[in-house]
Structure 1
Amino acid sequence: MPGSAGSTAEPPGGSAADDLVERRRGKLHPAVARTREAVRTMLAELPKGTTVLVACSGGTDSLALAAATAFEAPKLELRAGAVIVDHGLQADSAHVAETAATQCRTLGLDPVHVRPVEVGADGGPEAAARAARYDALRDAADESGADVVLLAHTRDDQAETVLLGLGRGSGARSLAGMAPIAGLLRRPFLEVPRATTAAACIASGLRPWHDPHNDDPQYTRVRVRHEVLPVLEEALGPGVVEALARTAGLLRADADALDVLAADLAETAVRRTDDEVVCDIGMLESEPTAIRTRALRQAALEAGCRATDLTAAHIAAVDALVTAWRGQRWIDLPQGVRAVRRGGFIVLGEGVTG
């Protein structure tokens, strides 16, 4: 959930020569060096003059990202700004957001946008806040002409995402976690531990604001962070977070390759009408399960299912209409979508019947 900033501090940035001198003298804190290196690596291939926005809540991770980006972007001849999303979920959220914006301006980021949003209820509080936040980030990028928005998800966030996917019974794509680059969005810190971003803020004299939602056990991710991961570390030994994040990276490479093959299959086996998505059973049933089920998942998404609600169990049930047909009437999917077998086709849509 969103956080925001505390007090301001002098910008930690400087010239490339200053940075080199700091390193040679051993004055540059290792955590600051690691955050800067992660940002520099992520941005290095961007064309000069590109506008980059940092999604900054003012919390520890995003403030460390803002500071590192403010230092590195000018050296790469990039324009760096920030966007702060005010979710309006706390009484002082407007003040919190403006304080975060002030910190970003002090660091030298420009332009800095504050975007108030209304958080709905679809999918639960976490999913609704995330959807509102991402919409606001895209709007700010459009307004600024930004080609990149940086997000401050860390290695710890990646491990939590993998565990959440396991708990939902999701497939390999979900277990692959968050991608370092996903269209407009980039995540430089996916291999950086949360402890490093905290140390970077302390070393730079920055004072992050702590979001009380990050300790509220009503949120599933908070329970994973404070209850599940510590138990796993105790039972399995240290290194669980690193192992989960590494697993995500390995699965992502496999999932990417399979997704390409599934997309090719969907081009010929799946078609959309005005109200329905129709899948050709004859084309699907001879394909390997990993490719066929991905094509069916894509069909379910096109029919209106939300990705965060669509589980591997849902897709397995739809796949059974293809490979284990025994007269099933239909399969109920999220968002009121149904899948039904009609002759040689699987038909997906809202309220479809056999």
Structure 2
Amino acid sequence: MDERKAYFIIFLIGIIVCPWFNGKLVEPYKSYYIESKDTGYVSCESDKEGNNSYAIQLYDDKYDDRYIVSIDTDNNYTFDIHTKVGVKIIRKHTGNDAPDTYYVENNGFIKFTVDVYNIKTGRKIRTIDMKNKFERLGLDNIQPDSDQEFFITKFNGKNFVCFMVKNFEFSGDRYADSSRRFYLCLDDMSFYDGELPNEVEYSDSSESIEEYIPIKKLLPKNLITLNIAVKNMFRINDSIYDDKIRIITSVRSLPYNNEKLYAMFPKLKDEVAYLKRKNIFANIIFVFPKDIKAEDILELLSPEGHKLVFDGVIVKAEDSYDGFNHQVYSMEELRRYIKSGKN
């Protein structure tokens, strides 16, 4: 085959293939992406009595630490959520030098599953296919409603997962969304759309007050330094639980040696050592009884033999509830004088 014939054949292929390629495979004014979110669950454990527990979750570019691995109020379950949301955006030319407009053509879960773990054994006991449950209700365009996609609550002695979602309804280039709530009972797997049945009594709302103590700001550096939560805040009380205290901190901040901590959670020491050795970033969520003393919590999170003393610790006027400086000599005094909700 001479060179001219070869060029002619390539030219014919271009005439035939290019229009088909442009019209069928390429959508110049459309874009599609998949947003995946995982809580990054690693492990969970509770003590023998079931009063204290923890769950570990990864955080890096793949995992978002805003999505906290949840523990139910009875320390029976922990939950790991996995979602993939497909989003197709269409750009529409308006003409007359006006800016283009964009609208969503389709937005719904490609995947939405929740793994349920027995917190006492650490074993996965079931996987809930939420996407399938929504599709059975004829809801094809469900997407998360907020950063807190679901939360744990308790009604009439039963544990429920409440899913907060939006349902998108499309008509041409217009769409409307409506927020909806769905409740899944973890005890009998019953599923409720919008409202719980009348025979289920709502529990009273928590009267607990969120109090924050900025440990690194108030305590001398040579006494104790704890990386508590993302903003170095120590949560004394948490309104998510009526009778529990939840503390979130980095696994890296946990001590290598703490006999009391690792006696309470025998599996934790090896888990912490592995994550540190592999340079894996992870958070740990502790849940303790509400009546635990703050000193006991700090003792669990400090190196063995590290003493907490308050000599010379002063709550500054800007941080105190009455606008005056106060020298404190115990954790109780620190909690008494610090502003409630102080950041």
Fold match, TM over 0.5?
Answer: no
**TM-score, normalised via structure 2 length:** 0.25
Is the helix fraction higher in 1 or 2?
1
**TM-score, normalised via structure 1 length:** 0.25
Q: Which entry has the higher C-alpha Rg, 1 or 2?
A: 2
Structure having greater relative contact order (Cα 8 Å, sep ≥ 6): 1
